[in-house]
A and B are shown apart, each in its own frame.
Chain A
Amino acid sequence: MSRLTVEALRYHRCGPIDFTIADGTCMSLTGASGAGKTLLLRAIADLDPHAGRALLDDVPATALPAPTWRRRVAMLPAESAWWHESVGEHFGVGQAAGNVPSAESLARLGFTPDVMRWEIVRLSTGERQRLALLRLLANGPRALLLDEPTANLDGPNVTAVESLIAAFQRDEQAPVLWVTHDREQRERVAAQHYRIENGTLRTEPSP
């Protein structure tokens, strides 16, 4: 159970930005290309220099070592990167023991446990995107920052990813920030909707 708070965050030419995502809820974020959505996620994950602060349950990012903060407030970039030869070597990164996703969560996204032996070069874009989500969740995060997590997926896989994230959000009572351009997806996954425009955050009315 966690709550994600952003206070007076300024980065690049955006801000100040303030919001709170309560535990177990999802906030959607939209905005024109180049408006600063990805940069907002990077600033919250403390990957870019910024002013203002982000807090998880009243603990500011700066109170923790940056790698610890990033494991707790986990960002899924729009394009995942892979550097080892096989899928399995990428799990448990940054931790002492390798964390492997459960057979159940693998199955929810259409994989069998032997996916861990697959070669990275043979993966399709969609497979990479789904595996990147599993890789992130296997690290045991407390909050999620998702940058268009279903952009390269077909219909059934979009549904599978949405339901996996919803289950995580519910089971862990985790806050989720979800960047999407898809109006219908926004209504399906999130309770509060925001838009970045001219460097500031505005609430986006539901239709």
Chain B
Amino acid sequence: MSVITLTPLDLVLAAALVVLLAGLSLRFDLGLEGRILVAAGRMTAQLLLIGLILRTIFAHVHLAWVVLIAVGMLLAAGREVMARQQRRLRGWWGLGTGTGAMFVSSFSVTVFALCVIVGTEPWYAPQYAIPMLGMLLGNTMTGIALAMDRLTQAAWQQRAVIEQRLLLGEEAQTAFGEMRRESMRTGMIPIVNAMAAAGIVSLPGMMTGQILAGSPPLEAVKYQIMIMFLIAAGTGFGVMIAIALTSRRLFDERDRLRLDVLR
């Protein structure tokens, strides 16, 4: 089996469907046509750009290039985590907490997978390293953003309960414990559900892509299983780190709830 190359005309035909959708949006007065076209245009430009970048990097395999791309992806994900929170930590903590948690979890899991499981040569081979890191970052980002948003909202809304428990002599992390656990569950449930539904409700995108590209289905499935394990572990570790950092930041050394660290 080999890949059937898509011609520009093929892409134009697919794009015509989106233009049709935008037309229907205009016809039914949904007011979405502008956003549909802009988003479609952005997606096209961004993917073409990353395709060019990846082609260049694949041609010149060097650790520095891979690190540069990885750091760029990490910062973009960190910014996204921050933007998805209604009440985020002030100052560098806002960007740093989510980014730090993703750095520790996604990077360590990816490096572990590259070195120990896949055994690429060199270990930072961009053809493996960048897509795997991308999948890990994308998923840990969702989990961490959900969990941190839940936690800071809980601290804000349940201030009366937290302070009542502190006044009765509970330690900060005990008084906050149930909210911490609830936030961690919120962050981890999407990936747990995705694992449970994989293959029955949905065919995961990576596996589908590999099959379209001509890989034998069982090889694609094995890769998908590995990626699911990595994503689950990376998301779980990342959520735990982010929640630990955030909940520590919300209280000071005298076990006081410090909502002034939020904005």
A-side residues, CB < 8 A to B, are: 45-49, 62, 65-68, 70-71, 74-75, 77, 79-83, 93-95, 135-136, 139
Closest B-chain residue to A140, C-beta based?
A: B169
Known: A49-B252, A66-B254, A66-B255. A80 touches B164 (CB 8 A): yes
**Are A135 and B167 in contact (CB-based, < 8 A)?**
no
- Docked CA distance A75–B254 (Å): 16
CB<8 Å pairs between A and B, sample of 9: A48-B256, A65-B171, A65-B255, A66-B255, A67-B255, A70-B167, A81-B164, A93-B170, A94-B170
B257 to chain A, nearest CB (A): 8
Query: How far does the alpha carbon of A94 sit from the alpha carbon of B174 in the complex, in Å?
Result: 8
Contact residues in B for A139 (Cβ distance below 8 Å) = 168-169
**Interface membership of B79, Cβ < 8 A:** no
A71 to chain B, nearest CB (A): 4
> CB of B163 within 8 A of chain A?
yes
Size of the chain B interface, CB-CB below 8 angstroms: 19
Counting CB contacts under 8 A, is B198 at the interface?
Answer: no
Q: How far is A93 from B163 in the complex, measured between Cα atoms in Å?
A: 13
Q: How far is the CB of A83 from chain B (nearest CB, A)?
A: 5
B196-255 residues with Cβ-Cβ distance < 8 A to A are 252, 254-255
Residues B256 and A136 in contact, CB atoms below 8 Å apart:
no
User: Which 7 pairs show the lowest CB-CB distances between chains A and B?
Assistant: A94-B169, A71-B169, A81-B164, A66-B255, A93-B168, A94-B170, A81-B160
The smallest C-beta distance from A94 to any residue of chain B, in angstroms, reads 3
Give me 18 other A-B pairs in contact (C-beta within 8 A), A79-B160, A80-B164, A81-B163 excluded: A46-B254, A47-B163, A47-B257, A48-B256, A49-B256, A66-B255, A70-B169, A71-B168, A77-B163, A77-B164, A77-B167, A81-B161, A81-B164, A83-B161, A94-B171, A95-B169, A135-B168, A136-B168
